[in-house]
Structure 1
Amino acid sequence: MAQVKDESFLEVRNVHRSFWSGGGRVDVLRGIDMSVPSGALTMLRGRSGSGKTTLLNLLGGLDRPSAGEVLFKNRALHQWSDRQLTVIRRQEIGYIFQSYALLPLLTAWENVELSLRMAGTSRTQWKERVARCLELVGLTKRMHHRPSELSGGEQQRVAIAKAMAHRPHLLLADEPTAELDSQMAAHIIAIFRDIVEAEGIAICMTTHDSTLWGAADVVYQMVDGRIVTQ
């Protein structure tokens, strides 16, 4: 386990998120208060429909709250323009999705390198950084394979390497082990722990898998759009 620092660089204060549908207003988040500490693995746990993914989208500036505040390094993300949020997402936040989000015609190496291109990282750093990230996720021998030539677990590891390549302060992962068997899921979590320890990157992920919770530094239990326990 990482030694969780007292300071938090991501704060959520009394956040609500509602959507309108044909049947009226749907309250997905109902007064969320939480924080993500630096250099730690944080998990949002709960059943499907508890609001985990909606909250994760707010943490990364992919959505805006209906009320309340989301503060990233003392900056109110919900008040920033779309252009400003794009810069933050490309340079300071990494995303890992269930669908892997890899470009099928690019090799593992090229997919990770693309993240550095988009973040504006100096070209002189690309080779060393891509090699480092693929080594950290255990894919050195598979770096020249395309996604179709990789297993689901290997594709997820490429996605992790891609998300961390530009040295973000925060990695957000939405159910990153949902499509994997228990052995590979445990392996992915072990990689997350290595990233936290070796890179100092904070990771916040959603999961409904109770076998993974013990690996986290901080766990928030979500029920019906509320956090009920920490």
Structure 2
Amino acid sequence: MTSAKEGPLLEVRGIRKSFLSGTRQVDVLKGIEMSVAAGRLTMLRGRSGSGKTTLLNLMGGLDRPSEGEVLFRSRPLHQWSDKRLTVVRRKEIGFIFQAFALLPLLTARENVELSLRMAGVPRTEWKERVARCLDLVGLTKRAFHRPSELSGGEQQRVAIAKAIAHRPLLLLADEPTAELDSLMAARIIAVFREVVEAERIAICMTTHDSTLWGAADVVYQMVDGRIVPE
């Protein structure tokens, strides 16, 4: 695993992203420079529409920049083919979205197993790894419950367990606490801190919730498509 001493796990250099709205060009990102270090919790803070989600999608290879570079482990993520990006997302990068993205007919345990199946992890390793991840997020006793039998906070913790099961180097989370009350949001961030410490996974998340910023190792403030000084 990449260490902080070896340089950033992910770097964003001069990123610009534009879209066409009819005949008008809309500049969403305007020259972003930032990095994410291994074993750190990084937050992108800013209001809705500031460009946080667009930036996160570029960092995970879900979209491509109009200009600039996205380097993952010093490799040009933005230049890779869709096939290569798919492999990297399954093995080295995990995602958490506002919608919990759990399959409703599967139990918590089975949802986490699905991540291991997609990453090609040998079945002989599933039982131990699933147990480890559910324990890490405090859901050992809820392993055989389906999403409809879990609270919103519990579903989000299953989503975290699922996202880290295949041991990614980087976890990207888009407003993971947006649909939760303040108490549950704090619990989710506590889980993130535990994941960073126990698994040495780098986490980069977006949020507009000012009560969470103090838990981060690094905070980038985004305003109108730019990163501005704190």
Fold conserved between structures, TM > 0.5: yes
Q: Which residue of 1 aligns with 2:45?
A: 45
The alignment status of 1:27 with 2:27, answered yes or no, reads yes
The structural deviation recorded for 1:7 is 2.1
Q: Which residue of 2 aligns with 1:68?
A: 68
In structure 2, distance between residues paired with 1:205 and 1:23:
33
The code of the aligned residue for 2:11 comes to: E
The alignment status of 1:17 with 2:17, answered yes or no, reads yes
3-state SS, counterpart of residue 8 of structure 1:
coil
The structural deviation recorded for 1:5 is 5.2
In structure 2, distance between residues paired with 1:25 and 1:103:
38
How many residue pairs match? The answer is 228
The structural deviation recorded for 1:9 is 1.2
- 4+ residue segments displaced more than 6 Å: none
**1:13 and 1:65, CA in 2 relative to 1: closer, same or farther beyond 3 A?**
same
Show the 5 A alignment for 1:1-230: 7-229=7-229
- The answer to whether the 8 A contact 1:177-1:188 is kept is yes
3-state SS, counterpart of residue 138 of structure 1:
coil
The code of the aligned residue for 1:169 comes to: L
When structure 1 is superposed on structure 2, of 23-32 and 84-93 the one drifting more is 23-32
Q: Identity of paired residues, percent?
A: 79
- The answer to whether the 8 A contact 1:113-1:162 is kept is yes
The code of the aligned residue for 1:120 comes to: G
- The answer to whether the 8 A contact 1:5-1:38 is kept is no
Deviation string 1:169-217 (CA, Å, 9 cap, x unpaired) is 0000000000000000000000000000000000000000000000000
Unaligned runs of 5+ in 2: none
In structure 1, distance between residues paired with 2:190 and 2:203:
12
The code of the aligned residue for 1:176 comes to: P
In structure 2, distance between residues paired with 1:152 and 1:124:
31
Deviation string 1:141-167 (CA, Å, 9 cap, x unpaired) is 101000011110000000000000000
3-state SS, counterpart of residue 12 of structure 1:
strand
**1:5 and 1:151, CA in 2 relative to 1: closer, same or farther beyond 3 A?**
farther
The code of the aligned residue for 1:90 comes to: R
Unaligned runs of 5+ in 1: none
The code of the aligned residue for 1:207 comes to: T
- The answer to whether the 8 A contact 1:58-1:70 is kept is yes
**1:207 and 1:6, CA in 2 relative to 1: closer, same or farther beyond 3 A?**
farther
CA RMSD, Structure 1 to Structure 2 (Å): 1.2
Deviation string 1:40-76 (CA, Å, 9 cap, x unpaired) is 0000000000000000000000000000000000110
In structure 2, distance between residues paired with 1:187 and 1:229:
28
In structure 2, distance between residues paired with 1:160 and 1:9:
20
The structural deviation recorded for 1:229 is 2.0
